[in-house]
Amino acid sequence: MSDPFTTIDQFIKNLLIGLGLEAEVTEVALNIVGAVVLGLLVGATAIILIWAERKLVARIQDRLGPNRVGPYGILQTIADGLKLVTKEVLIPQGADRYVFIMAPLIVVTGVIGIWAVMPLAPGLIGSDINVGLLYVIAVGAIGTLGIMMAGMSSNNKYALLGAFRTVAQMLSYTVPMILALLIPVMLAGSMGMSTIVEAQGSAWFIVLAPLAAIIFFISSIAEVGRAPFDLLEAESEIVAGFHIEYSGIAFGMFFVGEFIHAFTIAALFSVIFLGGWQGPAVESFPLLGLFYFILKTWFMYFVVIWVRSTLPRIRIDQINAFNWKFMTPLALVVFMVTAILDKLAVEAGFNRAAVLLAANAIIVLGTLFLLRAYATSQRRRLEVTERPQVQRSEAASD
């Protein structure tokens, strides 16, 4: 099979060895160069991401969006970046200086680190470790730490409250996410990201496990802290949340981190559930794989923006209840049903996809029925008590 990436890799390797480098040194150097290039590419994507999102949100809200700097305002992000770099970064009094500056670095690092295991095309993956998915969970959660550091070091109540909410929200939503991710690992028989993509040759996992896909998508939006889950920075309640005291480029880095993170979950979704680089004719032209991957990722990124600009922000207690009383039980049920039925289906010789789809459909119907019953009972309760219940006063620590 003519694989352009392996060919290029071999070509550069042979070239360097021909120039008198040792084979081992060449391997090490190529890995380092590859990582630097990938990291910079992902970072540079942020420039396009921010522009695209602003433009798209503007269109959805019937505005024009950035349109002054460059054609269609495409250079707006660069102008903004230059401006932010030349602005003063205020460090508030009583702040923990080093922790304060470190926090945005950790947020960005955690996000870019995920791209190391992202399979971009057949044979093109930074590091094909066999624990890829667990690595994604582990590194992706490091951002929580950065946000905690930002909140703790700012010497500001709102920042601290924002950080607390982060802990409650990001940690909570990781629970259904882990449960949902167990299912693709089960289906693929591996945690390696490229193996997961290869296993989707016949059927994408979104067909085999649609509910797991939806749970993963919702919980990862919550993980990024995007609307409707942007309680970490609810302006009307805690001003700007954890980054209230950040200014200039230090604030900009949180912004960049958030945008790349949103793009990263789009990429993860397309790799884990939409078949990554799988697509027609990818065997004969591996370069098409890269195109499919980028196409799927941008489509998912569009969905993320779409969700963001459509849904209103929900309250913190609703977010909490939604996770613990809806998402987590649902994820538990989906996991258990999938594990048992898939095994039974394979042993009895049934069609795997048909059984799993039917199981998912039944779970959806059951969930809708339960939700309906719950809503009815709630409505009846409200009708019996004439006035709405007295609202509890917000506690001091929120």
* Of residues 26-65, those binding other proteins (CB under 8 A): 27-28, 31-32, 34-36, 38-40, 43
* Of residues 190-209, those binding other proteins (CB under 8 A): 190-191
CB-nearer residue toward other proteins: 218 or 305: 218
Q: Which residues pair with 125 in a beta bridge?
A: 119
Within 13 Å and on the Cβ side, how many CA atoms surround 89? Answer: 15
Question: Can residue 158 be called a binding residue for other proteins (CB under 8 A)?
Answer: yes
Find the angle CA(249)-CA(255)-CA(257) to the nearest 5 degrees.
Answer: 105
Site string for other proteins, 4-23 (x = CB under 8 A): --------------------
User: Among 180, 110, 187, which residue's Cα sits nearest to residue 142?
Assistant: 110
Distance, CA of 211 to CA of 107 (rounded, Å): 29
Continuous segment of H or E residues that includes residue 121? strand 119-121
Select from 60-68, 128-136, 277-285, 369-377 the region that touches other proteins (CB under 8 A): 128-136
CB-nearer residue toward other proteins: 234 or 305: 234
Q: Residue 81 Cβ, how far from other proteins at the closest point, in Å?
A: 7
Select from 13-21, 59-67, 109-117, 355-363 the region that touches other proteins (CB under 8 A): 109-117
Long-range CB contact pairs, 236-241, < 8 A, 24+: 237/316, 238/158, 238/161, 238/162, 238/165, 238/398, 239/158, 240/158, 240/162, 241/151, 241/158, 241/159, 241/161, 241/162, 241/163, 241/165, 241/166
Select from 7-15, 262-270, 316-324, 374-382 the region that touches other proteins (CB under 8 A): 316-324
Question: Can residue 325 be called a binding residue for other proteins (CB under 8 A)?
Answer: yes
Question: Can residue 359 be called a binding residue for other proteins (CB under 8 A)?
Answer: no
Question: Can residue 79 be called a binding residue for other proteins (CB under 8 A)?
Answer: no
CB-nearer residue toward other proteins: 117 or 218: 117
Q: Which residues pair with 121 in a beta bridge?
A: 124
Question: Can residue 89 be called a binding residue for other proteins (CB under 8 A)?
Answer: yes
